[in-house]
Copies of this chain bind each other. A is one copy, B any other.
């Protein structure tokens, strides 16, 4: 079997014999003391084999890249702790049952079928723990979670080209208690947790013996962060309350409230007019907008900078994103926000054959270009650009490690902003088509832009299966209301 042919034991190589590795992590240092016979991997490709592109991550950037990579030229190996891509713009809708979880999750093997079929292409359910640029290899550890936790094992994968697309992680600004008590909204399991908690609170608040105060607390949904995610989630939530809770939980409908806390202005990247429209609409639909800075988060209440205590039953945290731990640990030139510096071709200048795309990367200041925003739109465009670049390199015979040295890379990556969109509840959305915050351009609000928003997202969901499911979900929500079974 091809799998066994390419499986080369590297357990004999002890860390002390390796060339110095600027990216080694503390966890790797202790490797040699652990069961070394568990340390295997995929060895370097030989010239007769297809070159191997290793993609670390499974978000917008990684998946867009894998989708368009020519698998006649390359073997593709993807390393990620989740086997699907999350269609993030629709994630907020799944929390309240407007859409189903599966409709926004796209398995990687559906995005790039070669990964599950070609003998040299793989998906590995693992975390990347370090990158060894000198030896052209990445270090990985299998990822299992929850009730299925197994002893992880480590392995290495040699790459010809490496694409770092590790994304970003939610920022907590060092505020105590956020990780313990708040729920983020980045992954499907976050949305599942929010939904389970919301339905639990609705049911518990109806049980005899509960005090008025506790009832109000359980049904107080607090959203921290007034960016598009926070606003979209608040809008969906107020829709759910107005349309569904009044019918499915009529006993407690007068107790449920939504508060959106933001330190500055909501939707700060949007046009002034749109921002005012959003504020008006959210207020009208019952969302209380509070200007404040969170100082401390406890199990059932949070404390603002001015000392105000806010009891909550559900706390959703979406105050922006920062670099992931692995990106943080890498000793590379980075942007002020901690994003990996790349050149005009999305290549990491100090490392051979390594590229970085999506939220984890940013244009180096040395190139004179500003860091691009951490948006799905940017990541998607970068993934697409890099797939074309790698295909071109592959066709020119430069696919193998160090094979593209001195090669002409062609046109650099140029980002053209197509506009920003955010929904603010039922049949209402904002569409800002300006190129940047300062520019002039078209901005729209209301039903027309809601329709544009829905259509735009529907055609962007990658597979036909999920396009179909999203349409079916919207139809059934419209006809039958949202599903409230807590499974």
Is A404 interfacial (CB-CB < 8 Å)? no
A177, chain B: closest CB distance, angstroms = 15
For A487, give its contact among B101, B148, B206, B469 (CB under 8 Å): B101
What is the predominant secondary structure among interface residues of chain A facing chain B? mixed
Give 1 or 0 for each of A72-94: 1 = CB within 8 Å of chain B CB.
00000000001110000000000
The CA of A291 and the CA of B430, in the complex, are separated in Å by 64
B153 touches A486 (CB 8 A): no
1/0 contact trace for A179-218 toward B, CB 8 Å? Answer: 0000000001100110011011001101111100000000
Q: Contact mask A217-228 → B, CB, 8 Å, 1/0?
A: 000000000000
Of A123-131, A274-282, A364-372, A453-461, the stretch lying at the interface with chain B is A123-131
**For the complex, is A271 an interface residue (Cβ under 8 Å from B)?**
no
**Which single residue of chain B is at the shortest CB-CB distance from A206?**
B122
Check B122 against A485 for contact (C-beta < 8 Å): no
A247 at interface by CB-CB < 8 Å:
yes
Oligomer: number of copies = 2
- A84-B486, A116-B248, A485-B107 known; A123+B203 contact, CB < 8 A: yes
* Residue in B147, B148, B204 whose CB lies within 8 Å of A142: B204
Are B251 and A3 in contact, CB atoms less than 8 angstroms apart? yes
Give every chain B residue within 8 A of A206 (Cβ-Cβ).
122-124
Docked Cα-Cα span, A45 to B465, in Å, equals: 53
Q: How far is the CA of A100 from the CA of B208 in the complex (A)?
A: 34
Contacts of A207 in B (CB 8 A): 124-126, 142, 153, 155
Inter-chain contacts of A117 with B (CB < 8 A): 247, 250
Instruction: Return A371 CB to nearest CB of chain B, in Å.
Output: 32
A87, chain B: closest CB distance, angstroms = 11
Interface residue? A464 (CB, 8 A): yes
In contact, A116 and B249 (Cβ under 8 angstroms): yes
Look across to chain B and name the residue whose beta carbon is closest to the beta carbon of A83.
B486
Question: Contacts A465-B476, A468-B476; is A200 near B125 (CB within 8 Å)?
Answer: yes
Q: How far is the CA of A470 from the CA of B446 in the complex (A)?
A: 35
Known: A155-B208, A188-B487. A251 touches B116 (CB 8 A): yes
Chain B residues near A407: list those with CB within 8 A.
Answer: none
For A464, what are the chain B residues with a Cβ–Cβ distance below 8 Å?
480
Among A3, A146, A204, the most chain B Cβ lie within 10 Å of the Cβ of A204
A116 to B465, CA, bound (A): 34
Q: Is the CB of A204 within 8 A of B247?
A: no
Complex formed: what's the CA distance from A142 to B146 in Å?
24
In the complex the two chains form, is B485's CB within 8 Å of A247's CB?
no
Instruction: Given the known inter-chain contacts A203-B125, A465-B480, please indicate yes or no for A84 contacting B251, CB distance below 8 A.
Output: no
On chain B, the residues within 8 Å of A199 by CB distance are 83
Q: Which residue of chain B has its CB nearest to the CB of A487?
A: B188
A124: B residues at CB distance < 8 A? 203, 206-208
Cβ of A436 under 8 Å from chain B: no
| Mask: chain A, 84-115; 1 = CB below 8 Å from B; 0 = not | 10000000000000001110011101000100
In order of increasing CB-CB distance, the 8 nearest A-B pairs are A84-B485, A40-B209, A125-B203, A105-B485, A188-B487, A465-B480, A107-B485, A155-B208
18 interchain pairs, CB-CB under 8 A? A40-B208, A40-B209, A41-B208, A41-B209, A83-B484, A102-B485, A105-B487, A109-B248, A109-B484, A123-B206, A124-B206, A144-B200, A146-B196, A148-B196, A155-B208, A189-B487, A464-B480, A465-B480
Excluding A82-B486, A107-B484, 10 further A-B contacts by CB distance (< 8 Å) are A7-B208, A38-B209, A39-B209, A83-B485, A84-B485, A107-B248, A107-B485, A109-B248, A124-B208, A148-B200
